Amino acid sequence: MLRDRRFLALLFVSFLISFLNAPSYALLPVYVEADLARSPLFAAGLRSTFLILGGVIALVAGRLADRWGPKRVYVVGTVGPLIAGAIFLTGDPASLALLCLGIGVTTGFDSAGGQSYLISVVGAKRIGIASAGYFVGNTLGTSLGNLFAGPIADAHGYGHLGRLVIAGSVGLILVAGFILPNVEAHHPEIKTAEPRASLRARREVWFLLGLRYLPTCYWGAVTLTLPLLIYRLTESNAAVSTFSAVTLAIAAVCQIATGRLCDQIGRWRPIFVAATLETLSALGLALYADSITGIYVFGILAAASAWSLSTTMPGLLQLVARPGEQGRLVGLAHFAWSAGMLTGNLGAGHLIDINPAWPFAISVGLMLGALLCGVGLYRCHRSNAT
């Protein structure tokens, strides 16, 4: 697998995308509050624009990946960091909204194209560690991007940071188009209506979407609230980006371990362990949302368990998908992810100024629901196998 040029090229491109996208995720709510003097709910609204559109576009991008091949779809997604860098160059609310719409379009192509490419080039026996490598590329890219972004923003301002991201993004687009080998579309002769009808009618698909949606609601709340809580306690951009870098670096190690375990002992035990730990992290953050120590301990646990659970997703998609519907199922799963991020962002943006513990307390219930979805998916798999 490590000698497969297609897989290595995918890892490199996914790392670069995440590295350049990092400031738009970690520092966007801080930029909105510190530089624009806007509320957390306004930042949540900006994020919601590209989350909604990203989920909808992923449905279209998944269908295109099945018809045209994943590379073409994925290369469109590499335009995203260029648009993300531009958000730090304008303080106009209308311009910010338009840029977030552009991020939403490219995010849908990035997710649907990247995961379709991964599933297409890696066999089922190695999908666990391959998924870990793919997500670690994203995680480490985001971690290192945050490590650089915070000090740059503190020292030179958000405008300088945005211009650097744009310059790097131009190189990314050229590199991706050149080094990514083509991958043929799967079963283009299968009519679109047939896979779509089968997806709607199958229980395992709904359990899979629940397992994607509910933990993402919690993660959406985490990504919005923790940077703001840390900034309010420390008044430092560097503290925010350092926290993000540390948690994501630890999460990357957990992703590798999860991927190896999935290939060695199967995916089900890692899924249930990760979901259980994510539930415990939500409980811990609900109890210690006003403590830097508590935020670090349970924020790290949240990142490690959330990313570990995400590592199992390509393998589950490969398991549930039938011939000719891989791209469509990837797009549907990203739609569920976007809906979860939207719910978590908007809910947390509304609740953080009422009581910062409430988003996490509610997330405990969401994670218990995710565990039930995991049980349902496992039972469907056992029933289909017998």
Whether 135 and 82 have beta carbons less than 8 Å apart is answered as no
273-280 mean pLDDT: 95
- Domains parsed from the chain with CATH numbers: 5-180+202-385 (1.20.1250.20)
Whether 206 and 374 have beta carbons less than 8 Å apart is answered as no
Residue 2 pLDDT exceeds 60:
no
Residue 190 pLDDT exceeds 50:
no
Q: What does the DSSP assignment read for 269-333?
A: HHHHHHHHHHHHHHHHHHHSTT-HHHHHHHHHHHHHHHHHHHHTHHHHHHHHPPTT-HHHHHHHH
Rounded to whole angstroms, how far apart are CA atoms 238 and 228?
12
What percentage of the chain carries pLDDT values higher than 70? 92
Residue 189 pLDDT exceeds 50:
no
Higher pLDDT among residues 199 and 349, named by residue? 349
Judged by average pLDDT, the poorest of 43-57, 162-176, 306-320 is 43-57
Judged by average pLDDT, the poorest of 104-113, 154-163, 235-244, 246-255 is 235-244
Whether 269 and 258 have beta carbons less than 8 Å apart is answered as no
Rounded to whole angstroms, how far apart are CA atoms 132 and 257?
8
Residue 240 pLDDT exceeds 60:
yes
Q: Which of 90-94, 211-215, 252-256, 263-267 has the highest mean pLDDT?
A: 211-215
Higher pLDDT among residues 241 and 314, named by residue? 314
Whether 224 and 349 have beta carbons less than 8 Å apart is answered as yes
Mean pLDDT (the chain) is: 83
User: What is the structure's pLDDT at 385?
Assistant: 64
Q: Which of 200-204, 225-229, 380-384 has the highest mean pLDDT?
A: 225-229
Which segments of the chain does DSSP mark as H helices, in order? 5-26, 28-34, 40-68, 70-77, 80-86, 93-121, 127-156, 158-179, 193-201, 203-234, 237-265, 268-287, 292-311, 313-320, 326-351, 358-385
| pTM score of the predicted model | 0.76
Give me the sign of the Cα torsion angle 251, 129, 64, 381: negative
Provide the token pair at 217: 């609601």
200-212 mean pLDDT: 87
Judged by average pLDDT, the poorest of 56-60, 159-163, 179-183 is 179-183
Higher pLDDT among residues 198 and 248, named by residue? 248
Higher pLDDT among residues 171 and 345, named by residue? 171
Residue 224 pLDDT exceeds 90:
no
User: What is the structure's pLDDT at 199?
Assistant: 65
Task: Go through the chain and tell me how many residues it has.
Answer: 386
Q: Band of the pLDDT at 309, cuts 50, 70, 90? A: very high
Q: Band of the pLDDT at 187, cuts 50, 70, 90? A: very low
Residue 346 pLDDT exceeds 50:
yes
User: What is the structure's pLDDT at 362?
Assistant: 94
Q: Band of the pLDDT at 319, cuts 50, 70, 90? A: confident
Kindly report each contact of residues 91-98 with a partner whose C-beta sits within 8 Å and lies 24 or more positions away, as own/partner.
91/35, 91/36, 93/42, 96/46, 97/46, 97/49
Judged by average pLDDT, the poorest of 36-40, 117-121, 263-267 is 36-40
Residue 29 pLDDT exceeds 80:
no
Residue 133 pLDDT exceeds 60:
yes
Judged by average pLDDT, the poorest of 133-137, 184-188, 203-207, 210-214 is 184-188
User: What is the structure's pLDDT at 198?
Assistant: 63
Q: Band of the pLDDT at 223, cuts 50, 70, 90? A: confident
Q: Band of the pLDDT at 372, cuts 50, 70, 90? A: very high
Q: At what angle do helices 313-320 and 203-234 cross, to 10 degrees?
A: 160
Judged by average pLDDT, the poorest of 70-79, 303-312, 313-322 is 313-322
